[in-house]
Structure 1
């Protein structure tokens, strides 16, 4: 009898793991992930309780003491240790403290490319308790002035290569009383002062903590610009509390002190700044910094610097897979790739070609209050949902009417949740644990992202603007974006801004801008249905020059459809659904079509032959 019982117990113990693996194949991963989330939460709470207040800059100072001689950033032929970065940022901070146009705590805008000077300047401003606006170095003219003004900065620090762009908006900056510093040793432009010479002369003495004693967890830390559903870019306010949580991003993906991370995404973006820079400050990893992404140099750089962790957006992976195959494609030390926006087919091709690399796909947004991590590695999914995650960050998928561009509501005025397997709008409840801070000095746009009376009267949710689907195995998949924003080349494009620029070209009366899918490409390419001003003809060369002057490459419409009249709804909203469906196929579109030809530097007629060339990949977009 005893032998029987022992046999039964042992048999049960052997059957349980088999049963769990068969019917709940991801349960162990779920438990490990929940344990990781719990550890991150406890570490965060512990840091929140420290006095005086503990911020990201304090974590950097800890690393510079613990690992002073460890390489912090490698750029081209230069290597800067944690100690070097600390000393250099002290010189920048001391130079600013002695400058009459700056006071500790002032908001400062950085208009610089990917270079160590940006990192050192940000660290200096963090030590001084100053919020920093990270300006996209591709923007110009009206967009540049708007982005600078909306964060209420008192000082602009620009890279030397951006002098011309600064001079274009200098009269407006001067009128606002803004101090403009250029990171050069001399500058002969009235209204712009040199700054690199002041930095070289400044002492590298550490700054007293009292300089930033005014900073709290609710204080702005950085402003990162994001395109919303309408209008010019908005400054998403990332406060000190949110920046502190960003420390955990790399460590939660298994990155450690011994890793070397390749950062070739722009530092003015969430991916480059929060993941690449802030994440490395937490782990103490070495950053290999590049000015910009280069598919041809990517793997050679990884081999040269013994890179173990890379970042990506969907387009990066596609570009890498499009390069000519080489015998040493799998000869590297990269073990983890962290990012978002990779298609399932590209994901499989990437692994097949470049080897056993753990792809850590995730979902998040700069200003959002919810995120997902595909810790199980399911190809095509952006993450996996579980009870613990939903308890911390309450979210749901609700039915969305894409024609009316609004959530579907029932007879009681509440939103309707979608069942598993169906596509719905992702919304996340705004709580103390999952707050939504909003946009700098833009209450209207902040309110637009809030959704009330979702599951019950009086509740408040953040509207992500993203359509998602959760399958029966609890994996979540990105489906599409809603509203007037589409994504191209890894950037969000606000259609209203593009429309406004087009109507200033001289021959365009109205412009209805939208995104169209192009086979083989991530996101949607920009297209505009336009009407011409009275008695005007479409001047392809003139419109091209105008677009290139005022819009960054990713925002320039690749296709233009010339109509007699822009179609509108009964509420005078521009109709886009039909236009999106028809796309840029000359066989389906009866209106004249133009395509942006960078070789000829004009908008040229889109013929059936050109259309086929685009689909085959012979003509690059």
Structure 2
């Protein structure tokens, strides 16, 4: 008979009994009873969006530094009190006063499923006010994961008022950091756009989905922890220290996520990356992390799969005006705030940080200033990298997203040639190709499309406020009613004399929606001449231009100006549109919104001054061509904010800036004119990615001593027309890595050229796909006529030969407006001539050389002004340059004038070296330095005043060209008399 060892029998039996007892307790109660009691707290505020917890309420309020802890949306507020070594307990024992904002669950809170990001950001801001009111002290705010993002945003929203410092834990800022599998950023943003627009606008995420998504981030670890728990189920003492944390992660700690909040996160954080660029929208207010001016401490998890280090360290660049510090911890995302390392490293460091910022202790050794060098990204799977881009949403779905990414990897690599730019451009080009003369398309109709597609989408920004598509379209419709009430009808030509303001944008759109034609008059223009030339009998103006408009004697309609309009003109011909009640206006039967057809007139631009003033008609087709062409060439999308520096009355403003933004679905940022002091501030606050300009507009910005633009600006592109070469170089150098995208858009025909690469400064580029085919026709610039071949057809220009730019007209000539020439290059063809002379280089790029009216016609032949200007502009000492003709002694001289940068000097040898690139016959006869070159209202350098002065006076800064040695030398009185005799001396 075999004897049994009691220990060998009882040991397994006791383990079995203990396992059964503990397992039954887990099944009945959801976990083991640890005997731990949560830290005491009072709910001191109950509001629709949150409850404010004050922990350890026995502490006298206001005696200790207050710290507000903010949880992420998908995690319970109890995350800060999971164990006895939780955040609130440690901070209290360290002499701080902990408070927690509790958003609750959208499943149980009234209106919870409709909550968006702004609700939570404003709630944090309100909680700060609550604490400050009670404690009379500035508040230190701290947030975990998305809660940290809320602290950044709330602080920017309130301009850091009553906030002592910010602390975040694994909170990503740069959504573009560490894309998975080499996927381009825009490829990921397209997916985020789709999810925001078509999935999360009708779907929320349950707490079970949140928990599952988090566990799928590391399924192996999840399974292993469950196996370890079961294997140790008999050993209660071993399980108890980690039981609270296990229960929190397994079930109790997860909160549902409302669909609007997810959609908002995707649109603003992922698609727009607006935590980095600026322009984040909270309610109708635009904010930027550049507004943060208080100390920031960011805890970085070295093995964090959600808040990737590179994305978290984005705060250094996003908040250039703040002191930014970091603390690195060898922990994952959850381990930053819960667990052993959190208890022994994170929260003691938080306490030490607050004591330091309160001047109650030294700077902690763990904490150091964050540098701009992001360093190496943390190791991890493709899924972890994907998580860094989508932050909190990926906290819910990253596990699934990783599998999808793996499945899609092969397909993506096989189609990498189909770039996001192409995917975005193709529908636009297809739409351009579909436009026929009878197609209904206009400025007003495209704005209406945006309103139907995304009523809550952001249309434009002004004075730090956001105007949605719905609000803008409502305002347009109201103005239409006002215009109808005063007798404006379709096809009527109505003058618009307004500064670049929302009211101007709305006025132009309202006239378009009504089917009328806006005649755009630059403020400060010669109104009597413009009125006589255009034949208008009605002007829409703003309060700033009311006096000059009223002085014309024609009907004046006043719009805009805000609350303090100051209308002090009492004339019978002046009508205040703001006083008309839209609801009281009877809509006539003839009114049809947006009736404009492609072939019909949309706008009339008024350009030039005095006897050079001219009207430039723009059809709806021509406007659409520039709008979609700009959107395509600049790759404009919803992530872009286009800063409209170019005035609306200029073709760059209306056709390129506003047109491109509307066609691209981008936001429009309107500034109050050209203000260098506000430029940098608005660039960051609005998150401007594209700046539009005309001619020398950027010169005033760059010359401002107050310009303090760092390398972390959000600008990627400057788009416009006419930027001088020297200013081009200076702009791209100052705003690296932004590029200049120079456009040429003729009013005649359908020509749109774009220098998309931005490599050749001064070049106009190539035709934008979808626009008219162009050719250069051989042209005698002196005689002013085409050069024909023996067969009578016009000769096409060779490479680098100067010719007149021609655009191919539609077969039926429907868009030509009667301007088409037939039988130009071939029998039966139709071409529309422009007013400008170009050359085409060996690469196929087009260079503007002159307008056919401004060619200097010398005895030796035509001298083209633009090549001269470009070469002089490229001299570092030169600020502005112009070229023109002067009559001296019965002959015409080619003269160039330059102004210099402050303190610069120009030598004759420098001029000689620069001009030597031109053939001798193309060089100016004289070059001289002048004190000033006048600028037009659109910042175009004008040579008119200088040309009127005639021959430049001899002197040390006037140089004459000597053909025998190809050099420029000082023009003395003797040399002037010899080289350029007047009729009296010759």
TM-score after normalising by structure 1? 0.65
Deviation at 1:285, TM superposition (A): 1.9
Greater alpha carbon shift after TM alignment, 115-124 vs 555-564 = 555-564
In structure 2, how many angstroms separate the alpha carbons of the residues matched to 1:231 and 1:458?
A: 37
Match for residue 43 of structure 1? 431
1:394 aligns with 2:773: yes
Paired residues of 2:539 and 2:549 also in contact (CA < 8 A): no
Deviation at 1:185, TM superposition (A): 8.0
1:94 aligns with 2:500: no
Match for residue 405 of structure 1? 784
1:169 aligns with 2:552: yes
Greater alpha carbon shift after TM alignment, 102-111 vs 120-129 = 102-111
Paired residues of 2:432 and 2:625 also in contact (CA < 8 A): yes
1:137 is paired with a residue of what secondary structure? Answer: coil
Paired residues of 1:380 and 1:477 also in contact (CA < 8 A): no
1:399 is paired with a residue of what secondary structure? Answer: strand
In structure 2, how many angstroms separate the alpha carbons of the residues matched to 1:187 and 1:485?
A: 47
Q: Compare relative contact order (CA 8 Å, sep 6+) and give the higher one, 1 or 2.
A: 1
Deviation at 1:416, TM superposition (A): 2.6
Query: How does 1:31-70 map onto structure 2 within 5 Å?
Result: 39-45=427-433, 53-70=440-457
Among residues 489, 492, 504, which one is paired with 1:106 in the alignment? Answer: 492
Structure-2 change in CA distance of 1:245 and 1:251 (3 Å): same
Paired residues of 2:711 and 2:736 also in contact (CA < 8 A): yes
1:68 is paired with a residue of what secondary structure? Answer: coil
Deviation at 1:110, TM superposition (A): 1.1
Deviation at 1:462, TM superposition (A): 2.2
In structure 2, how many angstroms separate the alpha carbons of the residues matched to 1:182 and 1:224?
A: 20
Paired residues of 2:496 and 2:540 also in contact (CA < 8 A): yes
1:558 aligns with 2:945: yes
1:369 is paired with a residue of what secondary structure? Answer: coil
Greater alpha carbon shift after TM alignment, 317-326 vs 203-212 = 203-212
Spell out, residue by residue over 1:110-154, the C-alpha distance to the aligned partner (whole angstroms, 9 max, x if none): 1111111111122222222212111122212443323441xxx34
Structure-2 change in CA distance of 1:261 and 1:35 (3 Å): closer
Structure-2 change in CA distance of 1:31 and 1:432 (3 Å): farther
2:696 is paired with a residue of what secondary structure? Answer: helix
Deviation at 1:308, TM superposition (A): 0.8
Paired residues of 1:261 and 1:308 also in contact (CA < 8 A): yes
Match for residue 140 of structure 1? 526
Paired residues of 1:91 and 1:204 also in contact (CA < 8 A): no
Query: How does 1:151-162 map onto structure 2 within 5 Å?
Result: 153-162=536-545
Deviation at 1:197, TM superposition (A): 3.6
Paired residues of 1:71 and 1:286 also in contact (CA < 8 A): yes
Match for residue 824 of structure 2? 454
Deviation at 1:563, TM superposition (A): 7.2
Spell out, residue by residue over 1:75-100, the C-alpha distance to the aligned partner (whole angstroms, 9 max, x if none): 2354422222122222211122222x
In structure 2, how many angstroms separate the alpha carbons of the residues matched to 1:373 and 1:477?
A: 11
1:132 is paired with a residue of what secondary structure? Answer: strand
Match for residue 124 of structure 1? 510
1:414 aligns with 2:790: no
TM-score after normalising by structure 2? 0.43
1:357 aligns with 2:743: no
2:583 is paired with a residue of what secondary structure? Answer: coil
In structure 2, how many angstroms separate the alpha carbons of the residues matched to 1:218 and 1:459?
A: 20
Spell out, residue by residue over 1:413-443, the C-alpha distance to the aligned partner (whole angstroms, 9 max, x if none): 43332211333222223224986545xxxxx
Q: Which runs of 5+ in 2 are unaligned?
A: 1-415, 560-564, 857-864, 890-933, 952-967, 979-986
Spell out, residue by residue over 1:250-300, the C-alpha distance to the aligned partner (whole angstroms, 9 max, x if none): 420211112111001110111111222222222332211123223454333
Structure-2 change in CA distance of 1:317 and 1:55 (3 Å): closer
Deviation at 1:35, TM superposition (A): 8.4
Paired residues of 1:91 and 1:205 also in contact (CA < 8 A): no
Match for residue 459 of structure 2? 72
Deviation at 1:193, TM superposition (A): 1.9
Paired residues of 1:110 and 1:156 also in contact (CA < 8 A): yes
Greater alpha carbon shift after TM alignment, 156-165 vs 372-381 = 372-381
Match for residue 571 of structure 2? 190
Deviation at 1:43, TM superposition (A): 2.1
Paired residues of 1:426 and 1:468 also in contact (CA < 8 A): yes
In structure 2, how many angstroms separate the alpha carbons of the residues matched to 1:273 and 1:404?
A: 35
2:831 is paired with a residue of what secondary structure? Answer: strand
Match for residue 276 of structure 1? 657
Among residues 371, 395, 399, which one is paired with 2:752 in the alignment? Answer: 371
Q: Which runs of 5+ in 1 are unaligned?
A: 1-27, 174-178, 439-445, 487-513, 532-547, 565-581, 592-621
Paired residues of 1:425 and 1:465 also in contact (CA < 8 A): yes
In structure 2, how many angstroms separate the alpha carbons of the residues matched to 1:302 and 1:368?
A: 35
Query: How does 1:246-395 map onto structure 2 within 5 Å?
Result: 246-252=626-632, 253-324=634-705, 328-380=709-761, 382-385=763-766, 393-395=772-774
1:212 is paired with a residue of what secondary structure? Answer: coil
Match for residue 882 of structure 2? 524
Deviation at 1:168, TM superposition (A): 3.7
Paired residues of 1:247 and 1:282 also in contact (CA < 8 A): yes
